[in-house]
């Protein structure tokens, strides 16, 4: 039976028969626990963070993943520098929150501008085998949560540019496009940034410095994450990611004009996935 290893930084809590460990601190003393691949305990722990509206940087890795090994050895060799980067992210964002008086804009879906309920900290889950990532129950549920978060952002953009569309059509278009994106772009390692329980952004992969300068590697990895967290219009950046991350088609189909679609007869419409992708591409490029 395949095994999942989750490495936790910080306090160990035991729940019933499973030891569920969550990383609630920065790099420090690590503990390890092994449970079966069918376990959903890690997602329950993750969902608890979301329900509590916590802020964190989550690393999802695998024991047999070379890029994960490089990332872990890099931050281990530069613990203080890595921790300083996390502190820097918190300090930079605190300045923004003060400017915004701790309140997000009415239409924000990433909680931008809110005071943090807790300082962003580093947490991580690990699986034993990379090929199982996002296929096991817990990791698949985390991915499904990400898809729902992004779907809502894309749906709101569709309704903004085409307000006559019904919620149902907009949701279906957004969901299909978001699932296609993550099917093509999920990877190991994966890093998630969450602010007060809302997904802010994500990043896949890690590249070590060719000259083994670990601080340089950390800088290159960290800078996009810092930019994501400070971006006021992060929803628009996510829309661009989804729009540009679709599978390339061998032949460009004819663009469907959304004005021909009457939302009042949506029950008799039966869009194929292909047509939905065409329509969404049109909408997001208006």
| Average of per-residue pLDDT across 92-111 | 90
Please report the pLDDT score of residue 285 as a whole number. 63
Scan for tokens 């898809």, then name that residue. 147
* Residues 68, 8, 89: CA angle, nearest 5 degrees: 70
Q: For 122, what's the count of Cα atoms within 13 Å in the CB-facing half-sphere?
A: 21
166-188 burial code (b ≥16 CB/10 A, e <16): eeebbbbbbbbbbbbbbeeebeb
Please report the pLDDT score of residue 107 as a whole number. 80
Per-residue pLDDT of 229-246, as tens digits, reads 999 999 999 999 998 876
Per-residue pLDDT of 148-181, as tens digits, reads 999 999 999 999 998 888 999 999 999 999 999 9
Q: For 62, what's the count of Cα atoms within 13 Å in the CB-facing half-sphere?
A: 23
Total-model pTM: 0.76
- CA-based nearest residue to 86, from 97, 77, 75, 96: 75
What number of residues does the chain have?
286
- From residue 12, give the alpha-carbon distance in Å to each of 15, 246, 269: 10, 41, 52
Q: What domains does the chain contain, in order, with CATH numbers? A: 3-146+176-245 (3.40.30.10)
Please report the pLDDT score of residue 12 as a whole number. 34
Collapsing DSSP states into helix, strand and coil, what is residue 12?
strand
- Asked if residues 216 and 188 have their Cβ atoms less than 8 Å apart, the reply is no
Q: At a CB cut-off of 8 Å and minimum separation 6, what does 259 contact?
A: none
Q: How many other CB atoms are there within 10 angstroms of residue 17's CB atom?
A: 7
- Asked if residues 97 and 113 have their Cβ atoms less than 8 Å apart, the reply is yes
């Amino acid at each position: 039976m395949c095994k999942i290893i989750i490495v936790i930084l910080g306090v160990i809590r035991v729940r019933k028969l499973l030891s569920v460990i969550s990383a609630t601190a920065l790099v420090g003393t690590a503990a390890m626990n092994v449970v079966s691949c069918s376990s959903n305990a890690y997602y329950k722990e993750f969902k608890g963070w979301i329900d509590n509206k916590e802020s964190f940087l989550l690393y999802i890795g695998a024991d047999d993943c070379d890029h994960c090994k490089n990332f872990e050895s890099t931050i281990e060799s530069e613990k203080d520098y890595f921790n300083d980067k996390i502190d820097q992210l918190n300090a930079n964002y605190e300045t923004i929150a003060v400017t915004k008086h701790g309140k997000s804009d009415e239409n924000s879906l990433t909680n931008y501008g809110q005071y943090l309920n807790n300082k962003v900290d580093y947490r991580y889950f690990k699986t034993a085998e990379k090929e199982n990532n996002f296929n096991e129950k817990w990791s698949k549920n985390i991915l499904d949560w990400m898809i729902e978060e992004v779907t809502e952002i894309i749906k709101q953009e569709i309704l903004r540019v085409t307000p006559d569309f019904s919620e149902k059509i907009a949701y279906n278009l957004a969901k299909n496009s978001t699932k296609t994106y993550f099917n093509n772009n999920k990877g190991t390692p994966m890093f998630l940034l969450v602010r007060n329980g809302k997904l802010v952004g994500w990043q896949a992969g890690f590249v070590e410095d060719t000259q083994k300068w670990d601080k340089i590697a950390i800088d290159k990895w960290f800078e996009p994450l810092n930019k994501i967290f400070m971006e006021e219009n992060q929803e628009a950046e996510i829309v661009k990611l989804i729009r540009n991350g679709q599978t390339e088609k061998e032949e460009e189909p004819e663009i469907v004009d959304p004005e021909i679609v009457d939302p009042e007869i949506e029950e008799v419409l039966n869009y194929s996935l292909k047509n939905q992708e065409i329509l969404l591409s049109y909408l997001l490029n208006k």
